[in-house]
Amino acid sequence: MLDNLCIDSRMWEQAGITYREGFLSTEADHTIRFRIAGSRGFLTIKTKTVGLSRTEFEFEIPCDRAKELLDQVCEQPQIEKIRYRIPQGDVIWEVDEFLAGNQGLILAEVELQDEAQQVVLPDWIGTEVSGDRRYYNSYLVKNPFTQW
């Protein structure tokens, strides 16, 4: 379960991990992407979003293979961002600071046990955008935030 929100300001002071993501498919009912997170590579398949949730299958792959696939197979441009993990109460917020064509966009998400789970929002959280597809990485890759 993910809850996406825009961030008002930078309220974290820890090292982040650089991410690079490229997509093989960005269909309405599924996405297929390759990702490098720091020095680790991943293949991820996500199903259609229903409510606030969707099924996700993620497989770790060798980082050099992920880089090859990002460079040679995935659509261009790609998503570049820095991810920060911020513990808050009994959840961990993942805050993404986007780079390149999405520079200036900062999003936070938290994984919930189910849609009924209550979360206390930190004071640095801004606008709720969970249902807005414009904030999905699969949308941002084709419609960069800096061009809105």
The mean pLDDT of 82-100, rounded to a whole number, is 92
Domain limits of the chain? 2-147
Which stretches within 13-148 are classed as H helix? 63-72, 137-140
Give the tens place of pLDDT for each residue, 132-147. 989 999 999 999 999 9
Determine the straight-line distance between the first and last CA of the chain, rounded to whole angstroms. 27
Q: What is the pLDDT of residue 2?
A: 43
- Compute the C-alpha angle 38/41/47, nearest 5°: 115
DSSP label at 146? G
d(CA 105, CA 119): 23
Mean pLDDT of the chain: 89
Please check the confidence at residue 47 and state whether its pLDDT lies above 70: yes
Give the tens place of pLDDT for each residue, 55-80. 899 999 999 999 999 999 999 999 99
d(CA 95, CA 121): 13
Taken in order 31, 83, 62, 141, the sign of the CA dihedral is: positive
The mean pLDDT of 7-23, rounded to a whole number, is 77
Please check the confidence at residue 15 and state whether its pLDDT lies above 80: yes
Task: Provide the pLDDT confidence category of residue 52 given band limits of 50, 70 and 90.
Answer: low
| Beta bridge pairs of residue 61 | 41
Please check the confidence at residue 6 and state whether its pLDDT lies above 70: no
Backbone angles phi, psi at 83, to 5 degrees: -105, 130
Architecture of domain 2-147: Beta Barrel (2.40)
Please check the confidence at residue 8 and state whether its pLDDT lies above 50: no
